[in-house]
Structure formats: structure tokens, C-alpha cells
Amino acid sequence: MQASEFFHHALNNCDAFFSREFNLARQRFLDAGSDLTLSHTNKSWQLEDDLHCDTLWVGSHAAENVLVLISGTHGVEGYCGSGVQNFILQSIKQDLISLPCNTALLFIHALNPWGMKHYRRCDQDGIDLNRNFVDFSMPLPVNSGYSNYLEKLAGIQSNQRFHAIEQFAKELGQQSFDEVFSGGQYHCDWGPFYGGQQASWSNRVIEEIVNHYQLNEKCLIVLDIHSGLGPWGFGELISDHPLGSNGANFAHQLFENAVAQTLMGGSFSVSKHGLLDYRWQQMMQTHGCFLTLEFGSFGTAALFQVLLDDHLLHREKTGLSEAEIHQQAQQMLQHFCPKNSFWEQAVLFKSWQVVEQTLKKLSGSNHVIA
């Protein structure tokens, strides 16, 4: 199949890649990785009987360069990430993506399988995995302003909450409000952006993945696929590397000005505590980078509203009706993986661009990009 034919068919049949139910998403991912002509191996980490985080390694295990694609760090966002991973695997099968010499791909599917299955952003313990990578042997970060906004917003009816969020952001400034409210908190275990009191299950799985694949010995380019923050269908490459660091420089060599740096205020995201990035950055002292590939949908205020609705509903752990749970799950799914062909097409094409550009830059290199 010619490239133009594949893209035309794929972008007009996005339902073949995007799933909106966990078991189907997992099965599609496993099927997509089962008949590759390239060398490949897989491994699963089981949380419960039907809940797994799955990994797929494509290429030589001796490869020095590894491009890592992660889905489901934020549970429900995994339906977007899983669609991307399936699309990339199909592109490999059609020879539209080629692995350079000395390069391998590692897919991590549904890092937070419980959140993905239950259409929640947190895990089974209410932990936001992307605030969980802190040193729990040390005093945890203090976010004194968070409770003030949480209390105010929790006391407002859901249909008025969107406008209240916009007003708070206007009063404090969007970036300052985002940093206070979404930057991570470690005291309110039922609220959004809770980083936990200890390493989560998924945190421990990351350690096992690093050890299993001996990733400390590799040059790593990590793309963590997220959704729900930013304008409709826009795919932003976000760097949380320290300014001037090797990771920041490596990312700029890959994508130049397409990379938005949170520490420069040039991103729809802001600096945060306990990001998954920070664990991987420990392995990128001389080369490699970690980037979040974030696909926007309905904007920041809508993101905060749907998360508050979700956490407030589940704060009452008893007495919830199936209808209430289902309705909230669908609202979460619609925000983080909208069933809209324009949005899905934008996500798939941008993902292909990013992966193709990364591998092109690595082609013929020995983990040092000229």
C-alpha cells in the first residue's frame, strides 16, 4: 500500500485505532504487536485479573537508542495514547516508519490500567501518577494555596464551576492559578492532583521496566502521550527539563522551536511536582530527553471542571448509582478522547510526524545528534 493510500484509509477510519473500552484497547494493542515482521518481544505487569500494563519491544535489544512511547499515565487519557500506539504500529507494518540502525522502540501501554478502565485520571488509590515521582523519604512539597481554591470550587454547583475557574484564573493570572491548583498536592487524598504518600503501583512498574530492559544503559527519547490540556486537536511537545540542561538541548536538536519549555512559560502546561519526567531524566545526564506529547481538547477551565466533578462524585465511596458513574465516565472520556474525526485525525497525523522526525534524526547517528 502506498503511503498516501494508507494515510487516506487510516485517517478516514480512525475507529480502527481508537477504542473507548479498556479490554478492547488492550486487545487491539496486543494484536497490533503480534504479527510484526521486525524482531519483537512483550511483557505484562498485572494489577488485577483483567488489568495489565503491557510493554512491547520492537527491534534489537542491543540497540543503543530507544524511543519510548507511553500511554495511560493519566488513566482515561490512555484511550488517546493507545490509539496513537496502534497507529504507529500499523505504520511500521506498512513500512511507513522504519527503524534506523541501532534504534529500538519500546511501547508502554496503559501505565495506569485501573484509571483507564474506570475512566478516571487517578489510580486505584486516588493518586495522580504524574505527581507521584518525589522522594518520599523527605518532607513532601507543601501547596498551601490549593485547599483554598478546592474548598471554594467544591462549594459551587457544577454548572457554575466553569465560570468560577475562569474568574480565578483571571484574578491570579492563568499560569499562577494553574501552578497553585494543578502543580501537585500531598494532603487531600480525594482531590485532584494528589501525589500520594508513597510510591504507587505504576511507579514501581516503571522501576521494573527500567531494570527489565536495562534502560539505564540506553540513549532514551521518551514520548509520554497525554490529552485534555490545550486547544482543540493541537499536539504540543512539552519539555520539563531544566533550562540549558543536556535534556533540553537534546530536545531542541530533535524538534527545534516545536518544543515548548514550561520553565520559560511557553507551554499550556506549567511546572509541577513529582512528574514522571523526573524519574527518566535521571537517566539522561549526557544524552536523551523526555517530552510530553499533549493533545488539547476543550481547554483548561473545562479540564479542571470535569476533574472536579469526577473527584467530588467519587469522594462519596458508597451510594453511587450505576447511572451516575456511567454519566461521569462518559464526560471524562469525551474530554480526554473526544469521538470526533477531526480531532482523531489531528492526533494521529501529529503523532506520526513526531515519531518520524525522531527516527529521522537518529538515522545514521550513534545517539549523538549532529
Residue 323 dihedral angles phi and psi, to the nearest 5°: -65, -40
Q: What pLDDT sits at residue 285?
A: 82
Q: What pLDDT sits at residue 368?
A: 44
Q: Please, what is the average pLDDT of the chain?
A: 94
Q: What is the CATH number of domain 3-362?
A: 3.40.630.10
Q: What pLDDT sits at residue 365?
A: 58
Q: What pLDDT sits at residue 331?
A: 98
* 36 touches 92 (CB < 8 A): yes
DSSP letter, residue 328: H
* 118 touches 126 (CB < 8 A): no
Q: What is the pLDDT of residues 282-327, one digit of tens each?
A: 999 888 999 999 999 999 999 999 999 999 999 977 778 899 999 9
* 47 touches 75 (CB < 8 A): no
364 CB contacts (<8 Å, ≥6 apart)? 100, 101
Beta bridge partners of 45: 53
Low-confidence stretches of the chain (pLDDT beneath 70): 1-2, 364-370
Write the CA distances from 11 to 4, 18, 43, integer angstroms. Answer: 11, 11, 30
Write the CA distances from 253 to 50, 184, 239, 299, 350, integer angstroms. Answer: 41, 30, 13, 29, 18
Q: What pLDDT sits at residue 7?
A: 81
Q: What pLDDT sits at residue 137?
A: 97
Could you tell me the residue ranges of all domains in the chain?
Answer: 3-362
Q: What is the pLDDT of residues 174-217, one digit of tens each?
A: 999 999 999 999 999 999 999 999 999 999 999 999 999 999 99
The residue with cell 537508542 is 65
Residue 290 dihedral angles phi and psi, to the nearest 5°: -120, 125
